[in-house]
Amino acid sequence: MLALVRRGLTATVFLPLVMLSFVVRKDSSIWVFGAWNGMQYSDNPRYLFESLSDRESTIHPVWISKSHEVVEKVKSHGHLAYHWLSLKGIFYSLRASVAVVSHSADDVNPFASYRAKVFKITHGTPMKRMGRDNEAACPGYLPRGFYDYVRSISPQRKSPVIAFVSSELSKCRFESAYRGSSITVVNSGYPRWKGIVESQGILWQVIERETGIRRDGRFSRIIMYAPTRRANRSFQLKLGPDFVDFVRMANEQDYFVVLRPHPSLLIDMDAEAGPELSKLGFLEVTCQQINDINSTLQDVDVLLTDYSSVIYDFCILGRPSFLYAPDLEEYLASDTGLYAAYGETEPALKVDSLAAVLNPEVLEEAVARAERFQRLHGGGDGMEACSTIVKRIKERI
C-alpha cells in the first residue's frame, strides 16, 4: 500500500513532465536506456547500449540515471549519459521514442519519457512466480483487473510493448505472468551474454584489491555463493559454523570463496564466523564493489545460489552450478512460490549441503546438466541477441 501511495504522490509532483511529453515531438532515432531503478550501469540494457554506441549510426543512444556516479562512469567510457533531472536528461527523455529498461519504466525518467514506447529486456528467467502468477503481488482489497490496469498506465510501471527473454522456457513463464495484457514476449537471447563471455579478470582484481590475495598456486579457482532476496524483506540468511567449515574445505581444494548476496538480502553472520572467515580465502562483496555480476562470471568456476536466475546465464559457460536452499520449506509456504518443483527444470543441480559441491562426481553431474539445458534452450551469442532486439524494436516504432 505504501509503495502505491508513494508512486502516486511522485507521479503527481512530476505531472507537468508527463503533460509536456504529449507536446514535445518524438525523434525515432533517440533511444534512452536505464537499469535497476536508474541506479546501476549494468544488465542487458548496458550491453545493448554499448553495442549501439560503438556500432550503430542511425540510433542515438543515451543513458539516463538517477545516480550522478553512474552518469560519470558512463561518460568515462566515452558514451552519452545524463542525470534524469538534468536539463539535457529531461530533453532527451522527452524526445526519445524508445526506452529500453531492465525492470520498469522507472529505470529511466518515467515522466518525461511517458510517451516513449517501453521495451523491457528482462532481468532473467524467473524461478519464482511473478505477475499474474503471483497472487500475493495484488493487495487483497483491490480487484486484480483494476490493480493491473492502474499499474499498466502509471508512469513508473507503464507496460512494455515487448518483453525480451532468453529461452523458450523463459518465454512460457513470462507469457503466463503477462496473460491478459498486450505485452508481446520475444525469445531474443540476452545482450549481457557478451559481457559474460568476454569479461575476464574482474573478480580476481576485486579479490586482490580487497584482500591482497592474487590468483596463484594457493587459490586458482573461485566458488561464488550468490543468494537472492525474499519477498519478506526482513528475512536474514544465517551463516554460521557450517559455512566456515565449507569455506575451509573449499580452500583446501584451491577454491577462493566469494559471497555476493542480492543487494536487498540481509546477511546474519554468526559472531564467531566473521573472525574465522577473515583468516580464510573468503570475501563478501557488495553491489557497490561488483555492480554488474554478469561481468564477473567468466572468473567463476562454480556457482552456488538458492533462487537466483543467474544460473540460467552462467550455464552458457558450461560450468557447474548448484541450488542450495536451507529455507526451502519455509519459502514454499510463505513466499511467492515457484514455477516448477525446486531443482526440476533449472540448469543447476540441487544439493542438500554446501559440502556436496566439492564432490568431483557431483561436479561432473552439474556440468552435464548445464550442457543439457544449453542444448535444449540455446544461448550464448550476445551480439546476435542485440541484432534481434534492435530489429524487433524498429518494427514497433
Predicted pLDDT at 9: 72
pTM for the predicted model, two decimal places: 0.87
Predicted pLDDT at 235: 84
| Structural domain spans, the chain | 16-190+382-395, 198-377
Q: What is the mean pLDDT of residues 5-33?
A: 86
Residues 347, 376 contacting (CB under 8 angstroms): no
**Hey, what's the cell of 317?**
559457460
Residues 216, 193 contacting (CB under 8 angstroms): no
pLDDT of 79-127, one tens digit each? 999 999 999 999 999 999 999 999 999 999 999 999 999 999 998 898 8
Predicted pLDDT at 337: 82
Least confident of 79-93, 145-159, 188-202, 348-362: 145-159
Task: Determine the Cα–Cα distance for residues 327 and 265; give it in Å rounded to an integer.
Answer: 14
Residues 55, 48 contacting (CB under 8 angstroms): no
pLDDT of 270-322, one tens digit each? 888 989 999 999 999 988 888 788 889 999 999 999 999 899 999 889 999 99
Q: How confident is the model at residue 130 (pLDDT cuts 50, 70, 90)?
A: confident
Phi, psi angles (nearest 5°) of residue 212: 80, 0
Residue 258 predicted with pLDDT over 90: yes
CATH number assigned to the domain covering 16-190+382-395 = 3.40.50.11820
> What residues pair up with 101 in beta bridges, in sequence order?
120
- Superfamily of 198-377 according to CATH: CDP-glycerol glycerophosphotransferase, C-terminal domain (3.40.50.12580)
Residue 233 predicted with pLDDT over 90: no
CB-based burial of residue 43 (10 Å sphere; 0-12 exposed, 13-18 middle, 19+ buried)?
Answer: buried
Q: How confident is the model at residue 183 (pLDDT cuts 50, 70, 90)?
A: very high
Predicted pLDDT at 333: 82
Residue 7 predicted with pLDDT over 60: yes
The single residue listed with the C-alpha cell 555476493 is 260
The single residue listed with the C-alpha cell 573472525 is 275
Predicted pLDDT at 144: 63
Predicted pLDDT at 67: 97
Residue 202 predicted with pLDDT over 60: yes
Least confident of 18-22, 147-151, 189-193: 147-151
CA distances from 279 to 14, 212, 217, 272, 324 (A): 51, 13, 18, 12, 25
* Average pLDDT, rounded, for the chain: 90
User: ∠ CA(273), CA(274), CA(278), 5° rounding?
Assistant: 115
